[in-house]
Structure 1
Amino acid sequence: MVFYFQLDPDVSIITGHLTETFGKSQDGIFKDIQLGDCLSSIAKGSAASNTAVISFKPVEGDVETIEEISFAELHSRVMKLASVLKESLSLGLKQRKADVNTVDAQSKTNVATYLNAGINRVYIQLACMYLRLTYIPMDSNLPKDRINLIFNSFEPIAFITDDTNVKIEDIETLTFTVDELLKKANAADIPAEEPLFKGMENPLILLLFTSGSTSPIPKGVPLRNSQLANRLSWQWSTESPLAGITGPSLIKTSCLFVDSFTEMFGPLLGGRPIIVSGTSEITSERLVTDIEILKRLISQYQITQITSVPTQLELWMNQMAGDGTAFKSLRVIVSSGQMLPYTLALKIFAVFGSGNLRLLNLYGSTEVAGDVTAISFDSKEEVSKAAIQLSTGSLVLPVGKPISNTEIYVVEGGTGSSSKVAPMGLEGEVLTSGAGILIEEPILTLSDKKLAPTLSRNYLMKSPCFPRLFQTGDIGFVCSKSENLYITGRVDDVVKVNGVKISVGNVDQILAGLDRSSGKFASLGATITLALEKGETSSQLVCFYQTSGNKTFTDRDLAAIVKTHLMSFLHVIFVEVPTFPILKHSGKIDKVKLGQNYKTGAYEKRSIVTSATKRETSDEREVIRRIFARNLALSEIAVENGEPDDNADFFLIGGDSILAAVVISELRKKGYKVNMNLFTENQKIGDLLDALTNVANPIAQSSLNGSKVPFIREFQPGKTFASDSALDAQWRNLIANILADSFVEFEPMAIAINLNRETVYQIAIGRMKQFEVMPGLLFVAGFTLSDPNGPLNDLFPEVSAVTLGYPLLTPESPGVSDPLYQKIEEAFEICNSRAEKLEDPSKCFSSAMLGARRLNAGNDIIQLLILIEESLINGAKRLGFNAIRSINTSVVTRIMSDELGYVHNCTVNIAEVFGEIGVKTNQTEILVDVVTKKLD
């Protein structure tokens, strides 16, 4: 077990063992070890003659040793190589006028290394560490454009490679091959006597570029000696679950990932041998995927430790078919990089047995030098004992307790200074502090993107040696009994689907809780759920799954299981995939590629249906059904099986008011004369299809069926409740909140310019203040079981929609502090100027703000929006205005304006308008319609 102490028994703060040196440090810098000097210490000690590195190559279906190197020999080669490298870089340093005695020069001087053979990585990286020379590791897994991006952004002083086919285009830099450097080193008589950047207390060791499996945006993560040394010194300590492990460790992870550093130098600089490829013929990704090569390596070299991500471990378990004989030398399997599933942990012990094997579960990220917590399991009984059942029914394993000089916090209320540490057992966002976290922020290398800050002052610390705080982005809790940390999701996995917030991982957790040992779901394999874009502002949950053997269940069976745990508005599409796309350099599932494959139809398969039952795509009803299916993001196989089913409720299988408007727009383009009342009169797919194909029975006007009746009421600020200022303020707050929530969550333009919720709230409050002395209209609406014409305040809890309008020439809303608001008004004025001129602008009213809460049935929203907008039009006419103008920024308001008789004036790309006036948008095209309705 990891030695730790608990700072407070009631709250979720857990702290790893503090080393004496770190505990005395006021800046939180670990100063015990210089990694660049570790090899020298081993080579001068009793282990000098011990084996350090064994390199191998493939030979006719087997593996053969190329060379076995002792620590003394490795040290000699590295020191001579460091001398040659130091001399070779001298010219470049002079040209750059770099002062090698300064911290700034050390941080900004780096070499890029493109190395496929593991033995070359050992030589070059150890030489760089001794010289205190930062290196940027690259290999064949890195795309060409990413390599050029790195060179353009960081201007390496030199490029070192073992692949002569790799060229850096249009960039002048010193270039060396590993062979020529080693040849010079072998001929050298004098090893390096001192580092290139001497006297550096905390040098930058490497710069990693990573974007994980969920985003294509690369970021540069600088890692210093203090961070990496703390992680390795914990591994070498007696408190580590790896203490006492001897024997060789296999090096198989791509150098692009931080796990490759700890995988290689954890055992090597701790005095244990490592097994590496001596040729580029066996790359890390081949070691990851080829189970036969893995078997031969482990058996021949009696390997005791391997490190991998759970996705790859799962593949190995399936390929081994329960036979772990070839792996009997293994003493430790390290799981890192992803959450370790409970079922996989049990499967590992089922294959390898208990007693001699330890399963180590690590948790962390690149930004924290790899790992911040750890827990080990020595049997399936320990796995079962540690698992906790979540509310979703699934079992989750702990990630353990903090490693040395590390502190973990679980907080609620966000991550600002007002947040609080959550009580034990309650979920919150996971933060960490200590020796392993970043000193500098990650560096984003795409100029048109911004990286959210992850470092802040540690206002939660109980000790001065924890001054910086890092946001992991994970959600979790600390168990009050075991005081272990459990991770249950990601902050960025929380999405809003049909107005309901959900962590997409909940779906996988529910399915992970199914009994797969036998019965219906025995053939269900791994699952990955993503939230994919649907329409302008909505998302669709898609669960991808694999099967083994004969499939014993249907998608409907999975949907039925999930439905028992989720709200009815959360519809999940299930898609079977033959394999998950894998990031070859890490073994993780490539979620970006998975989503792209789905969107491009890569997973669409047509069912084999007899000619007697096959639906003809020329049938008008089925053509329309396909329009619904496409917009509901259903798969092709689901369509061929007749989905969406006639009995399915459009608003319970992923539909909402925005999607309804999109469907209507598409139907209109195909010549159907339909309006929004189509969805107010019908909810089931079959009824919608009947209405669209039954020409003799045109769609009727809304009958407002149901036990609840609609109400549309006017609210006059300062007048409706003139004698009760508190009640007046309460209504203003309600109205402003509805508008603010609606705008920032569902309004495409507001989302594109990152409009702040508080700004919308202030705009609405300011407008209501104006209405006290200026003309203006404000209507509230909803559905009620009581009298719709009774006292307005009785309807307060049931207000669901708000619309607000005023004369076109009304001044800007007062009291808005955000300068972005003035830019929005300026942009709208430009849009208005491009439409046809009004006969008398003073007689024109503006339909300015429309907002709605999500109701429990999507057709109610459509009904309510149409009715409330009609009330605004009638109100403007009552006040004597002869026209009303609107700028429609969403598909819903566009469809509504068509139905209410607005005339289209012009379409404007408001993104370009914002660009012209200095406002940044996250989209290059945001089309808005300027429309006008004459009031007879």
Structure 2
Amino acid sequence: MGSLPQLSILKGPTRPLVPNSISRIFEKVAATSATNNIALIFEENGRVSQLSYLQVDQITNRLARTIVETIKAKNLKPNSDGDYIVAVNMHPSDHLILVLLAIWKAGAAYLPLDHSFPASRIDHIIQESQPVIVIYDEGKSSNLAFRRKFLFLLTDTKDFLETPKLACEHLLSTSDNKSDKCLEEKERLHHLKDDLAIVLYTSGSTGIPKGVRIPHKIILNRLQWQFKTFPYSSSEKFCVFKTALTFVDSVSEIWGPLVNGLSVLVVPKNVTLDPEKLVENLDRHRVERLVLVPSLLRSLLMCLKLKKNTSLLKSLKLWVCSGETLTSSLAEEFFEYFPENEYKLCNFYGSTEIMGDVTFYTISRVEQLKNELTVPIGIPVDNTIIYLLDSELRPVKAGDIGELFVSGANLASGYVNGRDKDKFLNNQLAIDPVFSKLYRTGDFARLEKGCLLYEGRTDSQVKIRGHRVDLSEVEKAVSAVEGVEKAVVLCYQPGEMNQALLAFVKSGALMNENQIENILRNKLTSYMVPQVILVESIPLLVNGKIDRQALLKSYENTNNNDDSCYEIDIDYSGVKPSQMEAAKVLFDTVASVLNRSARSAISPEANFYEIGGNSLNSIYTITKLNDEGYHISISDFLSAIDLREVLERMTSSTKIQSAAPRFTAELLKNEHKAAVVDIITTSFYQKADLEQWLMPDILESDYDELIDALWEPLVEKGLSFVTKSDSGKIISVGLNFDARDEPDVQITSKLTVIFDFLESVEGPVRDERLPAGKGKILHSFMMGTHSTLSPKENVAVMQFMEDEVLRLATERHFEGIFTTNTSPLTQQLGTDVYHYQTLLDYQVNQYVASDKTKPFGLAPDSQRAIVQWKPISA
């Protein structure tokens, strides 16, 4: 007898789930937490805000009272679904999370509105969801600016105009005198249907955004699965919230840590968009897990390779990819940097309607990826069943491709206004009421050896930077542009680095690609604006349908033409003669990277992002420049106004500086003393990385005393030097000692606090990890440059001094150079340019002096002391 074929049905573990709201769970955690346990940390523009669990609980109780009183005072009613929804238009901050938690405590649900949403999208969301109130950032944009942003553009938006608005700052100030006790159940708002927590709007299959209703119970199911499968470690203190609030992934980023007593680090948007800053932030806080889209993973890996620092992000053990297709090649690239079996790379699959994640696959070694172009999407989460069904909703056999349906405790409770009921079907295959509904994902998959493999979409939806984009919605917007006769919107190479959203347009109007794209920017969210390609005709198949493959092939052939970058208009007007060689490399590199996607001429005035660049290909551009010997930091490249500024910022060991004046070094002599005192004083007193926190107790005369005490041994040892310009002026000084033969000097000033601190961080590293004995370690003790140097000259002189220290150390047969950097510039140069090894990265505000005080306690968490070592090859 033959065996019965295995059907494509996968069931996740069954786990008990006790219904509860996330806000109530938070209150229990806050009640049992120590009063000083930090819940929220936010750093922006030098401001550091920390709120304890007790503070967050009390503040949100007061805010919740104000929200309820405002709604009841205005006699505001729930929407047509019976839901009390509060729309939130705020930038990432600690205040944002306070508002979200307060909305829940009030009994309402929150609905995020992104500042980048076009007016038409805001219009639709407000009209359909009917929020009782909108809370917004007054600090980021005043009430007038807020109204101009939305109201001026929404010329026919009666519903929005009539929706009450409340500035976050006003909400906070008017709540100060409220009771900080939690609201009783009778005081809270109550939805008509269920325990609605969040409404998230996604691109609809009809091209019209639709709101997904997410109750507390499905959030709880998703979080409880996470806590069991990927538990927080005993060393895990900080978690990051960096995902846009309109993404469902933000839910687990915020609320997972907060119902477990951990600290949430709120990452400002400018840091999230800068891979270099994001890496620094994650590394500094020893973050151990991260959720990100594959395109951001690719950016971070490129950033790590560019920095050539193998110690970065070594605490980050769990990497979770979702929102886009994760390719095997990218996963393999991950394990080129992170050791196998020590780090986990996970591929989560899902959508907003199913709480973001319903299946998962964990990779810990490369051999798991063999024979597959994309990483599997794995197995179901708790209390979830996955079905692969045919067109008649019957399970397909294992190995066959079927449409993916989801049932269980991760399903949303439908859409706002009951839209698209055909997406949530009655499950004829189950008896248990937990599995009574099926969600139709619109994805194809197959089951191989108990593991799900993704096989693409059944409709026109794709993922762009983690956002679900319906190509028909974009196509409709392009076709509506006056003068466009025909438009076809396609996605080229989804999930790959060169992924592109393309609009092939046949137009009878005298408009170019840029003009059409500018019109679309006022209609579509930024990530939905396609690259417009004008064509003379749209190719058809023999059956009369559009030949989409021919269009993609024409784009690919144009893009892969090796000579295509030379067809792009490159304009060198205004480039200085001394920079022409570098400009040719920069402009040709940009042309080769952007290629067919370049929107306009490449010139000194061109902005990289406005002419077709993005954060991913910007790092690729920097990498290629690095290969050509031209170095620029990622942050400098990202923040440059135009390519002229990029050219100016190409610093450190670049060929641009080859024409810089020559410097000479002289070993320290008595005649140099006055110049040395002047340079050391201005470098350390006026620039004051550590000294600033001891002011006014530090005096300029203290440096006279310091140099006096050190002068004789500095000259005697012959390891220190001054740098002279070609005119003979002393422009810098490098003071060095044998680390095992440093003089014991007495100083009476407050500078002792700084030297005690430096000894506390350097001593254990020096004594336990570096070679023993004299003549082994050259201690680069102090470096200073003349205050009249420009930033560019300053970097050039510092590089010369670094070379001179290396020459001295090599000549005197030292085994390596030891130093501690407290300046962000020297830290960056030491790591990225001079390739020192970081032995200790210390947060200076944590230092406790011998008198039990914290002399640098007011310093931000971002201020570090980095102890580094550079071994010298024999």
Q: TM-score, normalization: structure 2?
A: 0.51
Residue 11 of structure 2: which of 15, 19, 24 is its match?
Answer: 15
Among 185, 192, 197, the alignment partner of 1:205 is 197
Alpha-carbon displacement from aligned partner over 1:692-727 (angstroms, at most 9, x marks no partner): xxxxxxxxxxxxxxxxxxxxxxxxxxxxxxxxxxxx
- Pick aligned residue for 1:346 from 329, 332, 355: 332
Aligned CA distance change for structure 1 residues 215 and 300 (closer, same or farther; 3 Å): farther
1:197 shift after superposition: 2.3
Indicate yes or no: 2:453 matched with 1:486.
yes
Q: Report matched runs for 1:116-515 at 5 Å.
A: 116-162=91-137, 163-164=141-142, 165-167=145-147, 168-169=150-151, 170=158, 171-195=161-185, 196-197=188-189, 202-211=194-203, 217-236=208-227, 238-240=228-230, 246-277=236-267, 282-283=268-269, 286-321=270-305, 323=308, 324-378=310-364, 380-381=365-366, 384-385=367-368, 387=369, 389=371, 394-412=372-390, 414=391, 418-441=392-415, 451=420, 453-461=422-430, 463-480=432-449, 483-492=450-459
Distance apart, 1:74 and its partner CA: 1.2
Please give the alpha-carbon distance, in whole angstroms, between the structure 1 residues aligned to 2:116 and 2:278.
Answer: 20
Question: Which amino acid is 1:18 matched to?
Answer: T
* Conserved? CA contact 2:85–2:108, under 8 Å: yes
Per the TM alignment, residue 145 of structure 1 is displaced from its structure 2 partner at its CA by 2.5
Q: Is the 8 A contact 2:396 2:402 kept in 1?
A: yes
* Aligned partner of residue 291 in structure 2, secondary structure: strand
Q: 1:451 to 1:530 in 2, by over 3 A?
A: closer
CA distance in 1, matches of 2:226, 2:110: 23
Residue 529 (structure 1) shift: 14
Is the CA contact 1:160–1:178 (under 8 Å) kept in the aligned structure 2? yes
Q: In the alignment, residue 232 of structure 1 is paired with which amino acid?
A: L
Q: Say if 2:94 is the partner of 1:83.
A: no
Contact 2:61 2:102 in 1 (8 A): yes
Please state whether the residue corresponding to 1:350 is helix, strand or coil.
helix
Following superposition, the deviation at residue 132 of structure 1 comes to 1.8
Cα distance, 1:117 vs structure 2: 3.0
In structure 2, give the amino acid aligned to 1:272: L
Matched position secondary structure for 2:422: coil
2:529 corresponds to which residue?
593
Question: How far off its partner does 1:364 sit?
Answer: 0.4
Q: Whole-Å Cα distance in 2 between the matches of residues 345 and 539 of structure 1?
A: 32
Q: In 1, distance between residues paired with 2:562 and 2:321?
A: 43
Secondary structure of 2:412's counterpart equals coil
Q: Deviations over 1:164-215 (max 9, x none)?
A: 2212535123221111111222332443422522598931111111218x98
Counterparts in 2 of 1:582-621, with a 5 A limit?
Answer: 590=527, 592-594=528-530, 596-599=531-534
Q: What amino acid maps onto 1:411 in structure 2?
A: L
Q: What amino acid does structure 1 have at the position aligned with 2:42? A: S
Aligned equivalents of 1:355, 1:224: Cα separation in 2: 37
- Relative to structure 1, the CA distance from residue 404 to residue 107 in structure 2 (aligned partners, 3 Å threshold; closer, same or farther) is farther
Q: What amino acid does structure 2 have at the position aligned with 1:434?
A: G
**Aligned equivalents of 2:470 and 2:89: distance in 1?**
35
Size of the aligned set, in residue pairs, is 495
Distance in 1 separating the partners of 2:99 and 2:121: 22
* Residue of structure 2 equivalent to 1:799: none
For 1:642 and 1:109, the matched residues in 2 are separated by: 58
Deviations 1:565-613 (A, max 9, x none): xxxxxxxxxxxxxxx99x99xxx994x534x423479xxxxxxxxxxxx
**AA in 2 matched with 1:14:** L
C-alpha deviation, 1:255, in angstroms: 0.8
SS across alignment from 1:353: coil
| Aligned mates of 2:487, 2:133 — CA distance in 1 | 47
Deviation readout 1:238-286 (Å, 9 max, x if unpaired): 2346676722111111111111112211222232211014xxxx32xx3
User: CA distance change for structure 1 residues 240 and 319 in 2, over 3 Å: closer, same or farther?
Assistant: closer
CA distance in 2, matches of 1:190, 1:461: 47
Question: For residues 188 and 600 of structure 1, what CA distance do their matches in structure 2 show?
Answer: 64
The structure with the largest alpha-carbon Rg is 1
Q: Which amino acid aligns with 2:23?
A: G
Structure 1: how far apart are the matches of 2:551 and 2:193?
59
Q: Could you tell me how far apart the structure 2 residues matched to 1:105 and 1:203 are? A: 16
Do the aligned residues in 2 keep the contact of 1:42 with 1:271 (CA within 8 Å)? yes
Identity among equivalent pairs (%): 25
Decide whether the 8 Å contact of 1:106 with 1:132 is kept in 2: no
2:609 aligned partner: none
Q: Answer whether contact 1:298 1:326 (CA < 8 A) is retained.
A: no
Residues 47 and 271 in structure 1, CA contact (< 8 A), matched pair in contact too: no
In the alignment, the residues of structure 2 paired with residue 640 and residue 313 of structure 1 have an alpha-carbon distance, to the nearest angstrom, of 25
- What's the CA shift for 1:161? 0.6
Q: Is the 8 A contact 1:252 1:288 kept in 2?
A: yes
Q: CA shift at 1:234, angstroms?
A: 1.5
Q: CA deviation at 1:227?
A: 1.6
Q: CA deviation at 1:314?
A: 1.3
Give the residue type in structure 2 aligned to 1:54.
Answer: I
Cα separation, 2, equivalents of 1:540 and 1:180: 44
Determine helix, strand or coil for the equivalent of 1:306: strand
Matched AA of 2:284: Q
Matching residue's letter, 1:398: P
Q: Given the superposition, is the C-alpha separation of residues 298 and 225 from structure 1 closer, same or farther in structure 2, using an over 3 Å criterion?
A: same
Cα 1:347–1:178 shift into 2, 3 Å = same
Q: Residue type of the partner of 2:56?
A: L
Q: How far apart are the structure 1 equivalents of 2:321 and 2:5?
A: 29
Q: Could you say which residue in structure 1 is the equivalent of 2:840? A: none
Q: 1:491 to 1:36 in 2, by over 3 A?
A: same
Kept in 1, the 8 Å contact 2:322–2:349? The answer is yes
Structure 1 residues without counterparts, runs of 5 or longer: 1-7, 22-30, 99-103, 445-449, 495-503, 509-527, 550-579, 602-628, 644-936
What is the distance in 1 between the residues matched to 2:315 and 2:551?
Answer: 54
Q: 2:337 and 2:19 mapped to 1: Cα distance?
A: 40
Structure 2 match to 1:71: 53
Report the Cα distance in structure 1 between the residues aligned to 2:496 and 2:7, rounded to whole angstroms: 42
8 Å CA contact retained: 1:107, 1:134: no
Secondary structure, aligned partner of 1:371: coil
| Cα-Cα RMSD | 4.3
Superposed CA offset, 1:310-342 (max 9, x none): 112112222332645332221221111112111
Q: Deviations over 1:131-176 (max 9, x none)?
A: 2202211131222232222222233221111132212535123221
TM-score in terms of structure 1 length: 0.48
